[in-house]
């Protein structure tokens, strides 16, 4: 039975409010059954924050933590996530060789051999030291890596390896759909108020209920709407997080906005900024 997020798993150690039940569930899932847990939630619900508490707690308990964050701009790169993860994983050179194309072998590998080698590596490594793979933003994981991750996650029962992933939205990607899912619900009213207090946001008696109402228990929305309204009153409460971000952008100098626009157009590849930002003739206001 879960003991809630206590000891190393207390969210409070990282400034998190209202997630101790969730953290306790994750700790128990990583230790038992399929040893895999999938955290789901809308943008800003706190998935990355929860994963970061879990990573700290797992490391404090003596596990080897292998964390990875997927990026939208890399989702079309076959085995992109796996290559990045294995590049920093101890003793994974042989598996990495299988997915890195060479002049002699331009095409990737026998899929079954790759999966068995990866599983062998995971089992050997976790015998020496319990380990956990932590993958954030899995909605952006390339399909070939995801398929390998799913294969591994289905074969961890009885081992000392665990897998913890986070996914935006309600529906995990197919290879991870049959594992226990932990949804991040909206924060309760008392926790939402505690979050605002801890962030040092002073809201007047009219602005506070408006922020609580519009944020609907979403931590990111509480912080962004709270920051916009702090010291300014109810008229300053943005209608949504998007509006709050829009207002912040509008206050930036035009040149800074142009650079941000270029960076966004580059789909995460900041090389587009090289030497172009000063020459561009963007017609943004
Ligand atoms: N329980 C919490 N207590 C205090 N602050 C929190 C809590 N959860 C999240 N936050 C804060 O809210 C913001 C958004 O959290 P986070 O980045 O973890 O959300 P997310 O679900 O990963 O969002 P995304 O889908 O965009 O990746 C961060 O600034 C984080 O520090
Ligand atoms: Mg996140």
Chain segment 129-140, per-residue pLDDT in tens: 999 999 999 999
Ligand 1 neighbours by CB, cut-off 6 Å: 15-19, 41, 43-49, 168, 195, 219-220, 223
Chain segment 99-124, per-residue pLDDT in tens: 887 766 666 578 899 999 999 999 99
Dist. CA 7 → ligand 1 center (Å): 21
Dist. CA 47 → ligand 1 center (Å): 6
Chain segment 197-216, per-residue pLDDT in tens: 999 999 999 999 999 999 99
Q: Which atom of ligand 1 is nearest to the CA of 198?
A: 4
Do 173 and 234 lie in one domain? The reply is no
Going by alpha carbons, the residue nearest to atom 15 of ligand 1 is 46
CATH number for 12: 3.40.50.300
In a domain, 41, yes or no: yes
Do 112 and 163 lie in one domain? The reply is yes
Domain end marker among 129, 149, 183: 183
In a domain, 27, yes or no: yes
The backbone region for 83, taken as left when phi is positive above 0, alpha when psi lies in -120 to 50, beta otherwise, is alpha
Dist. CA 218 → ligand 1 center (Å): 8
Q: Which atom of ligand 1 is nearest to the CA of 19?
A: 1
Q: Which atom of ligand 1 is nearest to the CA of 16?
A: 3
CA dihedral 120, 121, 125, 126 (to 10 degrees): -50
* The pLDDT of residue 61 is above 90: yes
Written as six digits, the tokens of 254 are 């035009």
Going by alpha carbons, the residue nearest to atom 3 of ligand 1 is 16
Q: How many angstroms separate the CA atoms of 126 and 112, rounded?
A: 21
Residues bordering ligand 2, an ion, CB closer than 5 Å: 47-48
In a domain, 265, yes or no: no
In a domain, 261, yes or no: no
Contact (Cβ atoms closer than 8 angstroms) between residue 159 and residue 189: no
In a domain, 266, yes or no: no
Dist. CA 44 → ligand 2 center (Å): 7
Do 197 and 163 lie in one domain? The reply is no
Do 163 and 224 lie in one domain? The reply is no
Q: Among 67, 182, 185, 220, name the best residue to mutate to test ligand 1's pocket (greatest count of ligand atoms within 8 A of Cβ).
A: 220
In a domain, 209, yes or no: yes
Domain end marker among 183, 206, 233: 183
Do 104 and 50 lie in one domain? The reply is yes
**Which pLDDT band holds residue 3 (cuts at 50, 70, 90)?**
low
In a domain, 282, yes or no: no
Do 239 and 176 lie in one domain? The reply is no
Do 177 and 235 lie in one domain? The reply is no
User: What is the extent of the structural domain holding 224?
Assistant: 189-250
Does the pTM exceed 0.85? yes
Do 201 and 170 lie in one domain? The reply is no
For the ranges 48-57, 146-155, 231-240, the lowest mean pLDDT is seen at: 231-240
Do 32 and 165 lie in one domain? The reply is yes
Do 24 and 83 lie in one domain? The reply is yes
Count of residues in the chain:
285
Domain count, the chain: 2
pLDDT of residue 282: 43
In a domain, 92, yes or no: yes
Going by alpha carbons, the residue nearest to atom 18 of ligand 1 is 46
Do 225 and 103 lie in one domain? The reply is no
Do 158 and 206 lie in one domain? The reply is no
Neighbours of 219 (CB within 10 A): 24
3-state secondary structure the chain: CCCCCCHHHCHHHHCCCCCHHHHHHHHHHHHCCCCEEEEEECCCCCHHHHHHHHHHHHHHCCCEEEEEECCHHHCCCCCHHHHHHHHCCCCCHHHHHHHCCCCCCCCCCCHHHHHHHHHHHHHHHHHHCCEEEEEECHHHCCHHHHHHHHHHHCCCCCCCEEEEEEEEECCCCHHHCCCCEEECCCCCHHHHHHHHHHCCCCCCCCHHHHHHHHHCCCHHHHHHHHHHHCCCCHHHCCCCHHHHHHHHHHCCCHHHHHHHHHHHHCCCCHHHHCCCCCCCCCCCC
């Amino acid at each position: 039975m879960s003991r809630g997020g206590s000891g190393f798993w207390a969210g409070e150690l990282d400034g998190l409010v209202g997630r101790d039940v969730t953290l306790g569930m994750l700790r128990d899932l990583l230790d038992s059954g399929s040893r895999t847990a999938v955290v789901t939630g809308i943008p800003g619900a706190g998935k990355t924050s929860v994963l970061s508490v879990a990573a700290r707690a797992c490391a404090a308990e003596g596990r080897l933590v292998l964390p990875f964050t997927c990026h939208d701009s890399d989702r079309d790169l076959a085995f992109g996530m796996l290559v990045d993860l294995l590049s920093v994983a101890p003793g994974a050179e042989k598996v990495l060789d299988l997915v890195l194309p060479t002049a002699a072998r331009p095409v990737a590998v026998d899929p079954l051999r790759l999966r068995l080698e990866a599983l062998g590596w995971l089992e050997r490594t976790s015998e020496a030291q319990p380990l956990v793979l932590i993958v954030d933003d899995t909605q952006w994981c390339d399909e070939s890596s995801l398929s390998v991750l799913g294969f591994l996650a289905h074969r961890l029962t009885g081992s000392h390896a665990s897998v913890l992933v986070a996914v935006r939205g309600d529906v995990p990607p197919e290879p991870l759909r049959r594992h226990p899912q932990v949804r991040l619900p909206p924060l309760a009213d008392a926790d939402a108020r505690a979050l605002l207090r801890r962030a040092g946001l002073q809201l007047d008696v009219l602005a506070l209920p408006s922020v609580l109402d519009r944020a609907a228990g979403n931590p990111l929305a509480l912080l962004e709407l709270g920051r916009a309204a702090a010291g300014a009153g109810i008229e300053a409460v943005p209608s949504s997080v998007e509006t709050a971000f829009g207002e912040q952008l509008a206050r930036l100098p035009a040149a800074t906005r142009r650079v941000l626009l270029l960076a966004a157009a580059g789909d995460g590849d900041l090389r587009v900024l090289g030497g172009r930002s000063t020459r561009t003739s963007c017609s943004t206001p």
